[in-house]
Chains A and B, each alone.
With several copies, the nearest count.
Chain A
Amino acid sequence: MGTTSVEPGTTAPGPKTNRIGLTVIEYKGGKTTLCAGCGHNAISERIIEAMYEMGVEPEFVIKPSGIGCSSKTPAYFLSRSHSFNAVHGRMPSVATGAMLANKKLICIGVSGDGDTASIGIGQFIHLMRRNLPIIYIIEDNGVYGLTKGQFSATADLGSKLKTGVLNDLPPIDTCALAVQLGATLVGRSFSGDKKQLSAMLKAAIAHKGTVMLDVVSPCVTFNDHEGSTKSYKYVKEHEEMLQEVSFVPHFEDINVEYDAGTTVQVTMHDGSRLNLRKLEEDFDPTDKIGAITRLNQAHHDGEVLTGIFYVNPEAPSFIDMLNVVDQPLATLPDSVTRPGKEVLDACMEELR
């Protein structure tokens, strides 16, 4: 069970609390066992902030993950939420099952580039198709950190390992795939970019369908050297931002006016607002086809493209399509899940 066991935050005089009266400590997790400087740690920090600032009830959050350094991180945030460190590359199916069982849960699934793009690409693709309510985060360092730095399927062509080995296979762009296949909020960020990543995570929490965030997260031990295309240095030098991303939650009624010419404002399902100040004149984050084209262009031009690529706040989610009752299936009473004797009798009669 969670390693912290603090009581629910009590408002004033105590420490600062969020809208549901919890302190930020109550969103923290255990001490990280990852390498000092690992990008993954920064992402965990951002998740803690975002959940705190959005005032999410930790007891209703689940944190499924696969296997890898990245997939260990759910142990380092939200100790008050249930975690499921499953098997390698199969987090999507476990997450799907859990959401089927209890539609009221908020699911943040953490994976790595190996866990997702190598062994897990099959389940990833089918998850994206379903638009399951989930925040799917790839902590993307281009290598298998936990097995000591072999290339994963997101490694760029020509990227170099410490050993000097060059990657000769094209990378899988998980964002392009996610958009192509049906995810409804897709973006890429960088573990080093607090502002952008926080805004994206909050938008993710406000979204009702599949959110897919590919977060470039350097592996300081195996893939942060000269010649790597997933190093802090490389990303800083080659990052190309599509927009300046900011987010206004529904419970804060700030009402800034934005010039539609320079900013795309997206109203999320829960009324929150996602503001995208254009850095590229004619990019439209609601145009699926355009988004894919732009992503492919970025590969062609060797850019590390970040920002929100595609968003569709209203598309029906998988749970909507299944048209299940409002209460969680997990806790339906027997009276509802076991039809009466008359039903059995009717069935028997039919078979006589």
Chain B
Amino acid sequence: MATTDVVPRESAGGMNKKRIVNDMSIQVATVNGSGSQSSNTVLLRSIFQMGVPVSGKNMFPSNIAGLPTWYTIRANKNGYIGRKKEIDFLVAMNPETATEDTMSLAAGASVLYDEPLALHKLRDDLIFYSVPYDKIVAQVCPEAKLRKLVKNMVYVGVVANLLTIDMAEIEKAIRKQFAKKVKAANLNLAAAQAGFEYAKANLEKRGAFYIERMDKTTGKIIIDGNSAAALGCMFAGCTVVTWYPITPSSSLVETMIDYMKEYRIGPDGKATFAIVQAEDELAAIGMVIGAGWAGARSMTATAGPGISLMSEFAGLGYYVEVPGVIWDIQRVGPSTGLPTRTSQGDILSTAFLSHGDTKHIMLIPCSAEECFSMATDAFNLAEQFQTLVFVMSDLDLGMNNWMSDPFKYPETPIKRGKVLGKEDLDRLGSFARYKDVDGDGIGYRTLPGTSHPNAAYFARGSGHNEKAQYSERADDFENNMERLNRKFETARSFVPRPELTKGINAKIGIIGYGTSHWGITESRDQLRDEYQIETDYLRLRAYPFTREVHEFIEQHEHVYVVEQNRDAQMLSLLKLDLKAELIPRLRSLAHITGLPLDARSITDELTSMEGR
């Protein structure tokens, strides 16, 4: 297919008759704007409802309609829900890519195609199923103009039959999908059933893949990372949201708008929040900073190009010490790059975003659950440390469907940081905004509108002394910069700690973060099972790095840093932070293709670097 990097290899499910249960990847190749999205969701959900761990990844083009799109559903009994390179079952609906899609399959894979495409002529080492969609659709759907849409639901039925997915679950999924729209639901159900019946009557199942009921999804939910983040921000007490649309971050705010309108309206029918579509990212971050300065819990969401535009303001936030949360749903750069592909390419530039000596706190979620929980962490840290906090998500996490445990109601209370009110000032008489009273590098601030004659201070991006007065004195400048450094050091012990998973007395360490996590966990099992290589694994969840990170590296002979960018950006940050003696232990596994990182790539490269 046009966007993978597969090298043909023998697919697990060859002609050989061994049954492969609940372990397969299905790829649906269509054209975007053709409405296949709901069919794919129905497929995904029905497998999920049968208790089989599943994930769905959409590879879509950066345009609105008419270009190739691929949707991959992975079902895996072991719970591997990262991307799998090999496609076991191809649903070829797009004439434009059908040939290349078919040619790039591993031998033994199955192909379900629209009869006229006659793909079976291409290869003889694949299993082919042909379906006359138009005939079938014509029967179930009298309205010609609806047929294009309904057609997609037919393959759902066919696939259900060939992979033994329970039609009852398909029906349930369809009803959920079309919710109130009963007529549409019935029509689509009919189409699916027609497909099912057709397959039953005309197709002889030859592939080895089966979906069977199990219990690994009970109680779980399916959600994309951006929606999870939206929920998280709502429960984090966010009050001001500003944004400028950009893929893949737009859906975060758009979903948030829906949630907030439903759950954050006061009894008087008025909103307990303000969401503003700004004219661009400079304005969006400017509003976040203005709101944070005035006491709101403010945020914006963007992607690479927006982050770059925010550089100047980012330095202001750091130096004036204003809280604010910025979600970076990373896509492929440089520049406009690949707007609909995933990456971890903004790590280094965001850590040092802006000129002069500037540093920023970054949180890095790997799952929908963390998108939810880290929202509260981010707002709390932003206000406790009076600085901008960047949450580094990515397109794979943000826009794809993930299976997840239901989110836990935040037990951490909302923390507003060191803010002096009228009463405090009555007691203190006055205060010095940038004085390190507590030795943690964090000063006390006041909010505009505090009724005390000494509440006001002068926030400025130019040099200032402890009292926030303008100063060009060398000593004032140096002291303030040193304090900012102390503050950043303090943050080390407040940011989310990394997650450590140990192997059996392993000498090799792996460091990963964000969505690389899913490929890594699966790869670690491959390493153990196929190569008897034991690994310990540390998943970073924040910058600056906590003590545990240094300890982990100290405890391992060499440590592979796995990431989805070209320039080994996180490894670079580690180099800058580590004791020099430890640096030789680091090895880079950095790659970027725009596609979510898969386990096999990690396993192959790591073993070869291990000389295996």
Contacts and interface: CB of A to CB of B under 8 A. Distances in A.
CB–CB under 8 A between A and B in the complex? yes
Contact of A62 (B242, B305, B313, B448): B448
Contacts of B457: 1-2, 82-83
A257 B402 CA distance: 72
A84 B235 contact: no
Contacts of A59: 448-453, 455-456
A292 interface: no
A137 B185 CA distance: 44
B198 interface: no
Interface string B224-237: 00000001001111
A94 interface: yes
Contacts of A34: 63-64, 66
Contacts of A199: none
Nearest to B253: A150
Given A59-B451, A69-B64, A98-B291, A343 B273 contact: no
Interface string B266-305: 1011111110111111111111111111111110000001
Interface stretch (A187-195, A233-241, A281-289, A329-337): A329-337
21 contacts: A1-B431, A2-B453, A2-B454, A59-B456, A80-B456, A84-B460, A86-B289, A94-B286, A98-B294, A102-B295, A119-B244, A121-B279, A126-B278, A126-B279, A322-B274, A323-B271, A324-B272, A324-B274, A325-B271, A347-B259, A351-B223
Interface stretch (A140-148, A244-252, A272-280, A306-314): A140-148
A153 B295 contact: no
A151 interface: yes
B305 A88 contact: yes
B1 to A, nearest CB: 18
B271 A93 contact: no
Contact of A87 (B236, B244, B336, B458): B336
A300 interface: no
Given A87-B336, A146-B63, A324-B273, A100 B296 contact: yes
A46 B19 CA distance: 60
A254 interface: no
A5 interface: yes
A99 B458 CA distance: 17
Contacts of A98: 290-291, 293-294, 448
A168 to B, nearest CB: 11
Nearest to B247: A147
A104 B236 contact: no
A339 B279 contact: no
A221 B64 CA distance: 8
Contacts of B453: 2, 5-8, 26, 58-59, 80
A322 to B, nearest CB: 5
Interface string B32-47: 0100000000000000
B239 A126 contact: no
A96 B287 CA distance: 6
Given A96-B290, A334-B237, 15 more contacts: A67-B336, A75-B470, A82-B459, A85-B460, A90-B283, A97-B286, A97-B290, A100-B290, A100-B291, A102-B449, A153-B279, A325-B266, A328-B295, A339-B235, A348-B221
A35 interface: yes
B245 A147 contact: yes
Nearest to B335: A87
Interface in B79-107: none
Contacts of A96: 276, 283, 286-287, 290
Given A82-B456, A82-B459, A101-B294, A337 B66 contact: no
A56 interface: no
A52 B234 CA distance: 41
A36 B414 contact: no
Given A59-B450, A329-B272, A221 B65 contact: yes
B573 interface: no
A112 interface: no
Interface SS, B side: loop
A151 B263 CA distance: 24
B242 A35 contact: no
A33 interface: yes
A123 interface: yes
A36 B65 CA distance: 8
A297 interface: no
Given A59-B450, A325-B266, A325-B272, A83 B459 contact: yes
A89 interface: yes
Given A90-B282, A94-B290, A323-B271, A33 B456 contact: no
Interface residues of A, number: 85
A338 B245 contact: no
A97 B313 contact: no
Contact of A330 (B64, B221, B296, B313): B296
B604 interface: no
B467 interface: yes
Interface of B: 33, 61-67, 219-223, 231, 234-240, 242, 244-247, 250, 259, 263-264, 266, 268-274, 276-298, 305, 312-313, 316, 320, 335-336, 406-407, 409-410, 413-414, 430-433, 446-462, 467-470
Contacts of B297: 337
B283 A123 contact: yes
Interface in A139-172: 144-148, 150-151, 153
A142 to B, nearest CB: 14
A118 interface: yes
A3 B470 CA distance: 11
Contacts of B469: 1, 3
Contact of B287 (A7, A62, A94): A94
Given A101-B240, A104-B449, A339-B263, A325 B283 contact: no
Contact of A2 (B65, B432, B456): B456
Contact of B270 (A88, A99, A122, A323): A323
Contacts of B222: 351
Interface of A: 1-3, 5-8, 26, 33-36, 57-60, 62, 64, 67, 69, 72, 74-75, 79-90, 92-102, 104-105, 118-119, 121-123, 126, 144-148, 150-151, 153, 221, 322-326, 328-332, 334, 336-339, 341, 343-344, 347-348, 351-352
A323 B62 CA distance: 35
Contact of B293 (A94, A123, A347): A94
Contacts of B65: 35-36, 221
Contact of B221 (A1, A99, A338, A352): A352
Contact of A348 (B270, B278, B296, B407): B407
A26 to B, nearest CB: 7
Contacts of B247: 147
A169 to B, nearest CB: 9
A131 to B, nearest CB: 13
Contact of B448 (A105, A145, A326): A105
Given A36-B66, A75-B470, A84-B293, A343 B458 contact: no
Contact of A123 (B279, B288, B431, B456): B279
A121 B283 CA distance: 12
B459 A93 contact: no
B286 A347 contact: no
A347 B448 CA distance: 36
A114 to B, nearest CB: 8
Contact of A126 (B270, B281, B283, B455): B283
Nearest to B298: A97
Contacts of A323: 269-271
Contacts of B239: 101, 329-330, 332, 337
Question: Which among A26, A100, A150 has the greatest number of chain B C-beta atoms within 10 A?
Answer: A100
Contacts of A146: 62-64
B237 A87 contact: no
Nearest to B249: A147
Contact of A84 (B244, B290, B449): B290
Given A100-B274, A325-B268, A60 B449 contact: yes
A119 B223 contact: no
B278 A93 contact: yes
